[in-house]
Amino acid sequence: MIVDLKTEILPAGQAAVAAAARTLGSGGLVAFPTETVYGLGADAAHAEAITRLYQAKGRPAFNPLISHVGDLAAAQRIAQFNATALALAEAFWPGPLTLVLPKTPRCPVADLATAGLDTVAVRVPAHPVARDILRTFGGAVVAPSANLSGHVSPTTAAHVQSDLAGRIDLIVDGGPVQVGVESTIVGCFDAPMLLRPGGVPRDAIERVLGRALMKPPEDPEADNGQPLAPGMLASHYAPRTPVRLNAVSLEPGEALLAFGPAALAGINGAAAVMNLSERRDLTEAATNLFGYLRALDEKRADAIAVMPIPDDGLGEAINDRLRRAAVPQT
Ligand code: TXA
Ligand code: MG
């Protein structure tokens, strides 16, 4: 059951960081900015806090969480790094990359946070506020995106508030985030595997590794019944309004999520128009994606029509999130 908590909102700064560390230390739930999206943090070693976190988000407990730490040394107390993992950590940490690795024998992360897997997802975020909180708190912090499960990820404190007010203890407001899509997740298995496209583009990772990333198996239970990417549910990141992809013209009553010059047939009858990036810049489009989806969702249009977006660079992560947003919800 969700208790009706009083959710405090503090502007980022010393007082907020101290309050965040204190709240985490006593098993509370704190939303804070990372460079990708806002995260909902709990002490990774505190099983009860993690139970509350799953409840607050309405998240299924089979979907494990990412442990956030301050640096590589802290990550190595949790996870066993092979050569691939070390190369990737060196190249991209701090930053929007999550590595899935075998747990260390004395891994302090609660089993509940890893959904009983023998692997753990770990990342060192780059956002200064996230880093201050991790340094002051001292331990690992599990942090899924700070939205209700299945909903669009939050890129501002106001998004967090609209999903989670009354369900969590504290929101640290550090302004809008930079990257706008979640971290890229790489499974550092015998052959490194792209489990989720995200803020670090695939080609940057492949350049460091000198090889192509594997695709996860089609059957999500392929690895002896252990899901490799358990969180990749088909419908996710979803606004309430239906989403129509690859729109080349607009139907009456539809809202438009544009990319590049938007001269579509029917645009004059649009319920609303927002442009991810008029100059076709995929970095700018990623930053705007979730906020614009939330804003268009408020227009109560018949559908949100989305113009085609190229699949290179950050486009792979953008198109992944849009495909999930377009899966009809049950
Ligand atoms: O950018 C991000 O990664 C954000 C910010 C807050 O850091 N966090 C985030 O967390 O996106 P979340 O919970 O929304 O997504 C975590 C993903 C899920 O798809 C989950 O299934 C996957 O990581 N995951 C966690 N542990 C895993 C494991 N041991 N093996 C495979 N996938 C794992
Ligand atoms: Mg999420």
Q: What is the pLDDT of residues 89-143, one digit of tens each?
A: 999 999 999 999 999 999 999 999 999 999 999 999 999 999 999 999 999 999 9
Check if 143 has its Cβ closer than 6 Å to any atom of ligand 1.
yes
Mean pLDDT throughout 172-193? 97
Determine the distance separating the centroid of ligand 2 and the alpha carbon of 292, expressed in angstroms.
17
Q: 255 C-alpha vs ligand 2 centroid, how far in Å?
A: 25
Tell me the CA–centroid distance for residue 145 and ligand 2, in Å. 4
If you count DSSP H runs as helices and E runs as strands, how many of each does the chain have, helices first? 9, 14
| pLDDT reading at 218 higher than 90 | no
Average pLDDT of every residue of the chain: 94
46-65 pLDDT tens trace: 999 999 999 999 998 889 99
Nearest CA to ligand 1 atom 13: 144
Q: Name the closest ligand to CA 39.
A: 1
Q: State what percent of residues in the chain have pLDDT above 70.
A: 93
Q: Which ligand lies nearest to the CA atom of residue 199 in the structure?
A: 1
* C-alpha of residue 114 to centroid of ligand 1, in Å: 10
SS3 readout for the chain:
CCCCCCCEEEECCHHHHHHHHHHHHCCCCEEEECCCCEEEEEECCCHHHHHHHHHHHCCCCCCCCEEECCCHHHHHHHECCCHHHHHHHHHHCCCCEEEEEEECCCCCCCHHHHCCCCEEEEECCCCHHHHHHHHHHCCCEECCECCCCCCCCCCCHHHHHHHHCCCCCEEEECCCCCCCCCCEEEECCCCCEEEECCCCCHHHHHHHHCCCCECCCCCCCCECCECCCCCCCCCCCCCCCCEECCCCECCCCEEEEECCCCCCECHHHCCCEEECCCCCCHHHHHHHHHHHHHHHHCCCCCEEEECCCCCCCCHHHHHHHHHHHHCCCC
Best residue among 145, 159, 224 to mutate for probing ligand 1, ranked by most atoms within 8 Å of CB: 145
Query: Which of 2-16, 83-97, 223-237 holds the top average pLDDT?
Result: 83-97
| CB-ligand 1 contact for 126 (6 Å cutoff) | no
CA distance 34 to 326: 26
Does the Cβ of 98 fall within 6 Å of ligand 1? yes
Could you give the residue ranges of the DSSP H alpha helices within the chain? 14-25, 47-57, 72-78, 83-92, 128-137, 157-164, 202-209, 282-297, 315-326
For the Cβ of 129 lying below 6 angstroms from any atom of ligand 1, the answer is: no
pLDDT value at 228 more than 90: no
Whether residue 231 has its Cβ less than 6 Å from ligand 1: yes
For residue 119 and ligand 1, the question of a CB distance below 6 A is answered with yes
> Which one of the ligands is nearest to 100 CA?
1
pLDDT in tens, 15-54: 999 999 999 999 999 999 999 999 999 999 999 999 999 9
pLDDT at 236 over 90: no
- Contact, 50 vs 65, CB < 8 A? yes
Ligand 1, atom 19, lies closest to the CA of 231
Give yes or no for residue 23 CB within 6 A of ligand 1.
no
Distances in Å between the Cα of 78 and the Cα atoms of 67, 103, 192, 297 are 9, 6, 19, 39
Q: How far is the CA of 87 from the centre of ligand 2 (A)?
A: 26
pTM: 0.94
